[in-house]
Amino acid sequence: MMDAIVSTRPLDLVADFPAIPEGWAYLDTAATAQKPAQVIDAIAHAYSETYATVHRGVYQRSAEMTLAFEAARRRVGQFIGANAPEEVIFVRGATEGINLVAQSWGGAFLKPGDRIMLSVLEHHSNIVPWQLIAERAGAEIDVAPLTEDGRIDLDAMAGMLTDRHKLVALAHVSNVLGSVLDARRAAKLAHDAGALLLLDGCQAVPRMPIDVQALGCDFYVFSGHKLYGPTGIGVLWGRADLLDAMPPWQGGGAMIDKVSFSGTTFAPPPARFEAGTPHVVGVLGLHAAVDYVTGIGLDAIAAHEEALVREARSALSAMNSVRLLGPEDSAGIVSFAVEGVHPHDVGTILDESRVAIRAGHHCAQPLMEHLGLDATARASFGVYNGRKDVEALVRGIERVTRIFG
């Protein structure tokens, strides 16, 4: 069966990842990426040798850590094409970034009768925050359908948008189907209707070059842990004029200009949205992760993962009992269902063969309903995967079909 797989020249980077033992196929990168030694070393160095608070101390180590912290902000800004580092806000992850925009921008500017456009394939983190603010503001939510191969149907969305829509929030890459949004067209459609565009870039940033200016979006969010960085750190990028107009979401230290009991004034962005002591070491780990993927090259990563997706889909499509989901050119993700077998059973049997995949609804229950499934199995690739991992996946699925007949 593996004769159908086309050979490729894989990235040979598994040695950079100490948590991946020999013979273990880790195919759950869309949930969270393993960490290269370069990121682990940066975190260990920060905690063991250079650790101090930032933006507060007048002593040398604090000043040096502040310089490193703000250097990371500049590096992230360069990585995604920001106009200025002040457009980069550090948050706990994409979930917090979306909630920040919903509660701050949405709380200030959404009015009764306004509308928000989402899509069927959104992650819960790009649905629930909008439901919360829509209920509070008296706004309504519309949902763009999908094309037959699992892409956001922008033709249909174009016909749905009106001048009552104030915001469009879409996944740049689906975390279930791997389908890639035509983000430039989505931005034009949103702007032509007078709406802003927020992109959830969690699955896009680790596997393709991102330039927020070229994309034309207004907000962009992503999580560090999917980019081979640490957990607990993420990024919200926003256009400077939008951030300037947004009120604080959380109050505390670092985000103020002056505090008195008669009233408080607030710092400009990004400090206005970074209340409290930040995840200093997480930011430095994110910097190391950005340097790591940039050193490999996002184009090379994209080509590597596309080749693995082609190989996996080619082999799995030869199995009559396997239903493949999403487009042929999905970005780094292959979701599938095995006829008559619950995805949790698929995942358990694969785990016995030392193959780690995700099984469940992937925090995308509306999409599962659309697909007519309770859950799917999902294999997702990273820079550490190669042909042997695809082979292990296919052997594991063959075992599943033998066990369940």
Whether 225 has a pLDDT exceeding 90, the answer reads yes
pLDDT tens digits, 28-55: 999 999 999 999 999 999 999 999 999 9
- pLDDT at residue 397, as a whole number: 98
CATH architecture of 2-35+298-404: Alpha-Beta Complex (3.90)
Mention the CATH class of domain 39-295. Answer: alpha beta
186-209: average pLDDT:
98
- pLDDT at residue 130, as a whole number: 98
Whether 260 has a pLDDT exceeding 50, the answer reads yes
273-296: average pLDDT:
97
Whether 7 has a pLDDT exceeding 70, the answer reads no
CA atoms within 13 A on the CB side of 37: 7
Start-end of CATH 3.90.1150.10 domains in the chain: 2-35+298-404
Joined tokens for residue 61: 């180590």
Query: How far, rounded to the nearest angstrom, does the alpha carbon of residue 92 sit from its chain's CA centroid?
Result: 13
Mapping DSSP to helix (H, G, I), strand (E, B) and coil, where does residue 238 land? strand
Joined tokens for residue 256: 């103020």
pLDDT grade, residue 8 (50/70/90)?
very low
pLDDT tens digits, 80-126: 999 999 999 999 999 999 999 999 999 999 999 999 999 999 999 99
- pLDDT at residue 1, as a whole number: 38
Whether 164 has a pLDDT exceeding 60, the answer reads yes
Start-end of CATH 3.40.640.10 domains in the chain: 39-295
**Cβ contact 178:152 at 8 Å:** no
Burial class (CB in 10 A: 0-12, 13-18, 19+), 148: exposed
Whether 355 has a pLDDT exceeding 50, the answer reads yes
Whether 149 has a pLDDT exceeding 70, the answer reads yes
Whether 383 has a pLDDT exceeding 70, the answer reads yes
Q: Say how many C-beta atoms besides its own lie within 10 A of residue 159's C-beta.
A: 10
Whether 3 has a pLDDT exceeding 80, the answer reads no
Joined tokens for residue 290: 């950005």
The pLDDT mean for the chain works out to 96
Whether 20 has a pLDDT exceeding 50, the answer reads yes
193-214: average pLDDT:
98
- pLDDT at residue 10, as a whole number: 56
Residue 247 carries which DSSP code? Answer: P
Active-site residue numbers?
A: 363
